[in-house]
Chains A and B, each alone.
Chain A
Amino acid sequence: MRLDNLIIETRVRSGWAAIDLGIILGRMFWLRGVLLYMVLAVPIFALTRLVSDTSTLLPYLILWWFKPLFERPILYFMSREILSEAVGFWKTLRRWREWLLPCIGWVLTTRRISVGRGMFAPISLLEKPDSSEYGKRKSVLASKYANQSTWLTIVFCHLESFLAIACLVLLAIFFPEQIEINLLLLNELKENSAYLYFGFLLMMAVVAPFYTASGFILYISRRVELEGWDIEICFRDWMNDFKANPRQDSEAAQVRSQ
């Protein structure tokens, strides 16, 4: 891992500032992020239609439970792109074994319940520890940003549902004759559930790149701090300048520091 290739500025950040940087990263890779989310989400959505087309909440619950799985290709993609290794969309798909398989059983069972899962997902995917080591890694990383990683999940969970409701409200405003907002849509869940749940899924996909990126940057920030990445990068850059241009180095530094 060549730390000087990182596309983000490495410095010690507060947890909130790390989340903010995650928003920038999510914005940068947004479209590919949404598409990567759909890669697993659409087939599973189709499966839920086979399982149940009645008015239960079961399809929604299944989709909700599989969220960490849908987010994994985004995380894999971002973790490579952030180190300037341009894997791109198709290469990420072709390497599906690398993001689908690691710790998949844990991620969908005990680790699914964690409220700070956005920050801990990179441990399972990138470090692939066994279960006893995972607990240790998690407690080391969470010793500082536990608060922020929890609130991150809560805020994005709300944003997702607010977006879904806002879309319904907008539809009702623009097409008042076709859609009656007085919960008729929900009463006729049986007929409309496919559209409704696909709408929810879309909202999940739209928000997912930001959530995944913010959790990932929380994880990265914690490692920057624990392992002194910022210092290492600064020293390496300095030595690279020095090697490239040994005589002018001190003069350049003088100019830069003014």
Chain B
Amino acid sequence: MRLDTICPVETPEGTDLQAELAGLVPRALAYSVDFLLRMAILMALSIVLMVAGRVGDGLLLIAFFLLEWGYPVFFEVLRNGQTIGKKAFAIKVVNEDLTPVRFGSSFIRNLLRTADIFPFLYVSGSISMIVTKKFQRLGDLAAKTIVVYDERPEHNTALLDSVEPVTPSYPMTEDQQTAFVNFALNRGQLSDARQHEIAAIIQPKMPMRVTDPVEYVRGVGKWLLGAK
């Protein structure tokens, strides 16, 4: 088993799902975005409520309470597990079985921020996120939730227009298909020499008539992407 941040989940129906776990650094930054946003709203409110005197002070405290505890729960339950900061980093909160969070678990994980914050600026939460296998803070452990990356968008296939699709003559695993597709899309802009070096590795697997292994691998990749 090679090290990875993928968390595999088996559903009761027997299907295997997987998600890429998000760890300390993006989560801390997403939290900072949310925190600054809340502070900005409170600042604006405090200026507006200055005219209202002591009633204004009361309203401001209520607003603080609602923002501090309601903001994350509101977004996590109603906005696909994403607060504004989380959306900026393309991460979201889900249950451990990858289903969307409901009010109960969102409420628990946010209530337990009081534990994560101990003794100072989320130090317990940070340590917990570093040492636990699924990068969970204490609130996540209690509510059985994880934070994962939202899936990324599809590839751009414009590069492949001039390539002739080739039907492969053997079955391939999912990993091998991914490798062919990545090669075809020339993700990372490999140099010609490097492309040749990589494609030549599997020359023994190719039919005898193939003269240019690079063209062959790109062709198979295009076929796998759906071109016939």
Whether B175 lies near A155 (C-beta < 8 A) is: no
Interface locus among A23-31, A88-96, A119-127, A184-192: A23-31
Dominant SS among interface residues on chain A: helix
Chain A residues within 8 Å of B176, by CB:
234, 238, 253
User: Which residue from B26, B172, B174 sits with its C-beta under 8 Å from A16?
Assistant: B26
Q: Which of B16-24, B34-42, B136-144 contacts A (4 or more CB under 8 A)?
A: B16-24
**Does A86 have its Cβ within 8 Å of any Cβ on chain B?**
no
Closest residue on chain A to residue B127 by CB atoms? A163
User: Once the chains bind, are B20 and A17 in contact (CB under 8 Å)?
Assistant: yes
Interface centre among A9, A152, A214 (most CB of B within 10 A): A9
Chain B CB within 8 A of A257 CB: yes
- Within the complex, which residue of A6, A23, A226, A238 is in contact with B24, where a contact is CB–CB below 8 Å? A23
Interface size class of A (residues with CB under 8 A): 35 or more
Could you tell me the distance between the alpha carbons of A104 and B184 in the complex, rounded to whole angstroms?
A: 41
Please determine whether A253 and B187 come into contact, CB atoms closer than 8 angstroms: no
Bound-complex Cα distance A27 to B131 (A): 7
Interface size class of B (residues with CB under 8 A): 35 or more
- Is A8 part of the contact surface with B, judged by Cβ < 8 Å? yes
Contact B172 A20 (CB under 8 A): no
| Listed stretches A36-44, A48-56, A69-77, A165-173; interface member | A165-173
Q: Which residues of B contact A166 (CB under 8 A)?
A: 119-121, 123
Instruction: Check: A100 CB closer than 8 A to any chain B CB.
Output: no
Name the 10 nearest CB pairs between A and B, nearest first. Answer: A20-B23, A234-B179, A9-B4, A225-B188, A166-B123, A16-B26, A9-B2, A235-B201, A166-B120, A231-B179
Q: List 24 A-B contacts (CB under 8 A).
A: A6-B2, A7-B3, A8-B4, A9-B6, A14-B149, A14-B152, A16-B89, A17-B22, A20-B22, A20-B24, A20-B25, A21-B4, A23-B24, A23-B25, A23-B130, A23-B135, A227-B190, A231-B183, A236-B201, A238-B176, A238-B202, A250-B170, A253-B170, A254-B171
- The residues of B with any CB-CB pair to A shorter than 8 Å are 2-6, 20-26, 28-29, 89, 119-123, 126, 130-131, 135, 149, 152, 170-176, 178-179, 182-183, 187-190, 194-195, 197-198, 201-202, 204-205
